[in-house]
């Protein structure tokens, strides 16, 4: 059993292969947190130390005991209004406008299998792979019940947390803030590793000391955002790739989020992960409930590398779904940087013919195939093929490409609408706009109100009519702006719940699409990596990592991405030089190695290449297919920090440690250049490994302890790919 309940002391213990999580229902019915971290035995309620503290409030039950205060006790789900002045997991406004919620233990249940969340993505598992604990807390005064959900994947060292807020009272309540996970640490010095960025430069590594006060990251864009990713690592001070305690929290959600870290007056640390409280006021009438998106927790006692691989395994096996989750991904070429809007059917067919000759598997026709779309000022919402531009029907084009031996895919942006479109002219109220105000524009487009079923149904019918025209096996789903004008014109709408309902509407649309087309391979995108999160990965098993395809920048972008997300989820392509985003020119060889740190493909016009470059592409495609299983399913190790080191290096190791792929790109070149030694990881120390190209043999222990030297070359961004096999 992964979940144990000791009735005498009312203690719950959740155990995985290497970790333990423990909490206690105390004498007053409050649910207190005791421990999360390395595996431990026995009851740990001895850690609770009650002393009288100045100006610490006492609940009415403990009025005579001034040593008891929720303001200093570690809690599982702290609610505002009970004398805890730290950041709250739940803020509730009652029917009488008071803000208070007094949650006490009512009951619990334990069962085999993993809980699911209505209308939301969540970790899934077979019944024999997981156990669930449900703890019911209730406020007797207002009738609000909070069902805390814990999923334990014992073999994977993963614990998930969520909450369901239910109004069982007679009046309306409004949820003003709600988290799905709270971690309270009684002592210790910690740092938060987070991943910040901007469009075309996402998920930069950032490490911040958690000091006294409150530090937070989040999004108010109704997308998880380019600016901050909803995954953080809370690390023991000084923790590294290979040493030190670290905790990962990954929010399985694609909308507004808030992660808070607070060190309090007593040097205790609280971490919260949940919904963004700004722009959020969710009313619940009698009998209504609200599901809070899930947070995935994992712990490593030996540094970041192990923690990352635990999350990679969880995402590959328990979040991503569908036919392509475990199958090799098709090597694709996307038409965007090859031609932008300036193409016709013959140009796409010509690109497909070139791709087939080079060994690729899929051609994608990007933006510009529908309506009268010749630029980004019109036609979003009019999802009908422009047959005049294509010179044929969409089905005929797909058929011609299939006869070349290639799969065919298209780009769509179903959440958006152009004012210059038939859809907008017929239904202007379907766009998010505040009556009496001019709308906020971005990319000259507005956002459709996906919180409304009628809007979703109309777009769904249009998209299905497109997909039914031919053998379209791939869709790139894009979202090219943040949301503003958060006001729905649907009857009875409530602005404070719109951002949540919008994201739920997107999930509903995707779920319906996959149910109707189970073979369909959807790649997520939001101006590149603006919605790169575990919520989208539940529906789209890979996401376009960034609109920036520059290999030097991508090394840093993919480095930050790797802390939570496996290479099998990372859309990464070789593009033309000079690069369209940075103007930088990097060799085709180096661009290929960098793109092989994800799901490999191309974003260029093959017709502009010479014979030697085409031959190199043939070799790259063959090389990627040779290593595809290792890249997609192997253990991943970061061998450098490209924000600090003069090189970027990473490696893949098969689960049996027999097959290894080392990748190195030199980021700096200087006069009288020094030798770069790269230490490997994850090998069998006593085994001998042979270089597949040279036959040179090395002991695993030597490669991990002393490293391997890279050649000294007078070449900017020189790159090396070394295949090792266990002898």
| Residue carrying the six token digits 């859809």 | 423
- Using a 10 angstrom Cβ sphere, with 0-12 exposed, 13-18 middle and 19 or more buried, the burial of residue 573 is buried
Copy the structure tokens of residue 667.
Answer: 């980021």
Copy the structure tokens of residue 97.
Answer: 């406008």
Is residue 547 part of the annotated active site? The answer reads yes
d(CA 474, CA 330) in angstroms, rounded, equals: 10
Orientation angle between helical segments 588-595 and 611-633, nearest 10 degrees = 20
Q: Sign of the C-alpha dihedral, residues 3, 6, 12, 18?
A: negative
Phi/psi-derived region of residue 413, left when phi > 0, alpha when psi is between -120 and 50, beta in every other case: beta
**CB–CB of 202/546 below 8 Å?**
yes
**Closest by CA position to 418, among listed 458, 378, 375, 450:** 378
d(CA 293, CA 284) in angstroms, rounded, equals: 17
Q: Report residue 31 CA to chain centroid gap.
A: 30
User: Exactly one of 139, 157, 449, 478 is catalytic; which is it?
Assistant: 478
d(CA 537, CA 111) in angstroms, rounded, equals: 27
Alpha helices by DSSP H, 256-318:
304-318
The DSSP code sequence of 338-407 is HHTT---HHHHHHHHHHHHHTT--EEEE-S-SBTT-SSTTS-TT--SB-HHHHTS-HHHHHHHHHHTT-E
User: Exactly one of 71, 344, 485, 547 is catalytic; which is it?
Assistant: 547
Q: How many residues does the chain have?
A: 727
**CB–CB of 613/643 below 8 Å?**
no
Q: Return the bridge partners of 160, or none.
A: 151, 296
Alpha helices by DSSP H, 139-272:
none
**Closest by CA position to 396, among listed 471, 480, 496, 305:** 471
Q: Which positions are annotated as active-site residues? A: 478, 547
């Amino acid at each position: 059993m992964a979940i144990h309940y000791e009735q005498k002391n009312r203690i719950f213990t959740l155990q995985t292969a290497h970790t333990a999580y423990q909490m206690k229902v105390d004498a007053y019915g409050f649910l207190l947190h005791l421990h999360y971290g390395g595996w431990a035995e026995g009851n740990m309620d001895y850690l609770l130390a009650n002393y009288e503290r100045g100006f610490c409030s006492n609940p009415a039950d403990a009025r005579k005991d001034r040593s008891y205060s929720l303001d200093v006790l570690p809690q599982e789900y702290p609610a505002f209004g009970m004398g805890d002045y730290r950041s709250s997991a739940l803020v509730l406004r009652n029917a009488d406008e008071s803000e208070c919620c007094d949650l006490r233990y009512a009951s619990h249940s334990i069962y085999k299998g993993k809980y699911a969340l209505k209308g939301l993505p969540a970790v899934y598992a077979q019944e024999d792979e997981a156990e669930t604990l449900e703890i019911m807390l209730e406020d007797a005064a207002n009738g609000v019940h909070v069902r805390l959900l814990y999923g334990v994947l014992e073999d994977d060292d993963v614990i998930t947390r969520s909450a369901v807020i239910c109004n069982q009272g007679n009046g309306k309540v409004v949820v003003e803030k709600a988290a799905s996970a709270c971690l309270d640490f009684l002592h210790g010095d910690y740092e938060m590793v987070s991943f910040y960025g901007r469009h075309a430069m996402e998920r930069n590594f950032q490490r911040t000391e958690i000091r006294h006060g409150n530090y937070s990251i989040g999004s108010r864009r109704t997308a998880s955002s380019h600016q901050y990713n909803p995954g953080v690592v809370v690390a023991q001070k000084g923790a590294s790739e290979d040493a030190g305690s670290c905790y990962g929290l990954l929010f399985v959600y694609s909308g507004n989020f808030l992660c808070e870290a607070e060190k309090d007056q007593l040097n205790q640390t609280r971490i919260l992960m949940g919904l963004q409280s700004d722009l959020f006021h969710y009313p619940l009438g009698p009998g209504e409930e609200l599901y809070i998106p899930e947070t995935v927790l994992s712990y490593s006692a030996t540094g970041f590398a192990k923690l990352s691989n635990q999350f990679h395994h969880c995402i590959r096996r328990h979040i991503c779904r569908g036919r392509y989750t475990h199958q090799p991904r098709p090597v694709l070429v996307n038409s965007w940087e090859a031609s932008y809007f300036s193409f016709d059917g013959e140009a796409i067919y010509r690109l497909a013919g070139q791709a087939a000759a080079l060994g690729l598997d899929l051609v994608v026709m990007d933006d510009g195939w529908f309506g009268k779309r010749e630029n980004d000022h019109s036609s979003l919402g009019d999802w009908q093929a422009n047959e005049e531009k294509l010179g044929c029907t969409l089905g005929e084009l797909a058929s011609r490409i299939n006869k070349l031996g290639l799969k065919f895919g298209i780009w769509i942006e179903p959440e958006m609408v152009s004012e210059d479109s038939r859809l907008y002219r017929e239904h202007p109220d379907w766009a998010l706009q505040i009556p009496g105000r001019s709308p906020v524009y971005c990319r000259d487009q507005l956002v459709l109100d996906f919180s409304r079923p009628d809007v979703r149904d109309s777009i769904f019918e249009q998209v299905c009519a497109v997909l039914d025209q031919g053998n379209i096996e791939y869709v790139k789903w894009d979202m090219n702006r943040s949301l503003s004008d958060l006001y729905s014109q649907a009857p009875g709408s409530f602005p404070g719940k719109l951002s949540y309902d919008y994201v739920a509407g997107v999930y509903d649309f995707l779920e319906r699409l996959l149910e109707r087309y189970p073979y369909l391979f959807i790649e997520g995108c939001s101006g590149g990596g603006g919605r790169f999160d575990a919520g989208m990965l539940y529906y789209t098993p890979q996401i376009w990592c960034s609109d920036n395809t520059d290999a030097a920048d991508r090394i840093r972008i993919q480095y930050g991405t790797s802390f939570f997300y496996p290479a099998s989820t990372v859309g990464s392509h070789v593009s033309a030089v000079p690069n369209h985003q940075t103007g930088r020119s990097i060799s085709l060889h180096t661009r290929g190695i960098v793109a092989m740190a994800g799901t490999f493909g191309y974003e260029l016009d093959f017709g502009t290449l010479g014979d030697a470059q085409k031959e190199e592409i043939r070799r790259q495609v063959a090389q990627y297919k040779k290593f595809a299983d290792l890249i997609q399913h192997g253990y991943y190790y970061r061998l450098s920090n490209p924000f600090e080191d003069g090189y970027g290096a990473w490696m893949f190791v098969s689960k049996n440690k027999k097959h290894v792929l080392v990748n190195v790109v030199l980021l700096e070149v200087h006069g009288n250049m020094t030798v770069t030694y790269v230490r490997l990881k994850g090998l069998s120390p006593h085994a001998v490994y042979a270089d597949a190209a040279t036959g040179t043999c090395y002991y695993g222990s030597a490669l991990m302890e002393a490293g391997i030297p890279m050649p000294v070359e007078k070449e900017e961004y020189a790159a090396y790919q070394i295949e090792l096999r266990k002898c």
